Amino acid sequence: MSRVCAICGKGPISGRSIARRGLPKKKGGIGLKTTGITYRRFLPNLQTVKVIQNGTVRRIRVCAKCLKAGKVVKA
């Protein structure tokens, strides 16, 4: 089962995790130095919910944003 919201289609997106060392200039240091960049995935906050769809109760994966917005009718 894929990590995709059944309502809005939101899925994983890629990004970077940047490791830094040193003290920021703001705090009296000489600045932060980048020591490594690793690629990572930002996953959507999916919840498995029982939903009424076409008169039947089904279990679908919905992101928390759609749940809060009231885009689904819970069973």
Q: What is the pLDDT of residues 22-45, one digit of tens each?
A: 999 999 999 999 999 999 999 999
Domains and CATH numbers, the chain: 13-69 (2.20.150.30)
Query: Which has more confidence, 53 or 59?
Result: 59
DSSP 3-state helix, strand, coil percentages of the chain (rounded to 5)? 10, 50, 40
Query: What is the H or E stretch that residue 67 is in?
Result: helix 64-69
**pTM of the shown model:** 0.76
pLDDT at 1 over 90: no
d(CA 24, CA 15): 23
Q: Beta partners for 40?
A: 15
DSSP structure class, residue 30: S
- What is the DSSP pairing of strand 13-21 with strand 56-63? unpaired
